Amino acid sequence: MIKLQTPRLTLIPLHHELLLVWLQSGRKDLEKMLDLQPNPWNLELFYEQETRQALSDYWIPQTAKFPLDYYWYTNWEIILNTSSCSVGGIGLAGLPDNEGTTEIGYVIDEKFRGLGIATEAVKALADWAFLDSDLQLLRAETPVDNEGSQRVLEKNQFQKTGEKNLPLEIPLQVFTWERLRY
């Protein structure tokens, strides 16, 4: 299994079977299978719903469709090494498309925000993704009111490129971001 290591974190991509455990049995069973200490994520409703939807509508179908490249289509658990628990998730929106782009997204448990964890995780996954010579541009979106997430992207050399509304039940205004290969 691929793992990414940073000074404080381990990032573990969830293969299809682990995603099914999460969906069918819950995070507690997933944490047991990964030999992690229990840590129920505390997320705002929007991020909780977005994660649940990604699990059922994207990660599970895409990892079934692309079993050899699943790490481009899944959630990577962000493990804080000192406590051996998952403090969030990060992932990509698939292999680079024909223009050489993909998107990165992440969420951190509220109890662990403001500690530089997201910055460290984004750097690790972006650096890993750019090892693929097909990737030329990494995109991201952040809610306009999420200044912490915006700082994470700025610290990782992303440039703000615009603003748009996401067509959700309750429309959400986001900033768009890009980071070029260098």
Domain ranges for the chain: 4-134
Burial 3-17 (b: 16+ CB within 10 A, else e): ebebeebbbbbbebe
Percentage of the chain lying above the pLDDT 70 cut: 98
- The CATH-assigned architecture of domain 4-134 is 3-Layer(aba) Sandwich (3.40)
Span 48-105, pLDDT tens digits: 988 999 999 999 999 999 999 999 999 999 999 999 999 999 999 999 999 999 999 9
The reported pTM is: 0.95
Q: What is the CA 24 to chain-centroid distance, rounded?
A: 21
Of the two residues 45 and 132, the one the predictor is more confident about is 132
* Average pLDDT value for residue range 30-40: 97
What is the edge-to-edge ordering of all strands in the sheet holding 137-143? 4-5, 9-13, 75-80, 85-92, 101-108, 137-143, 172-180, 159-166
Q: What's the pLDDT at 182?
A: 79
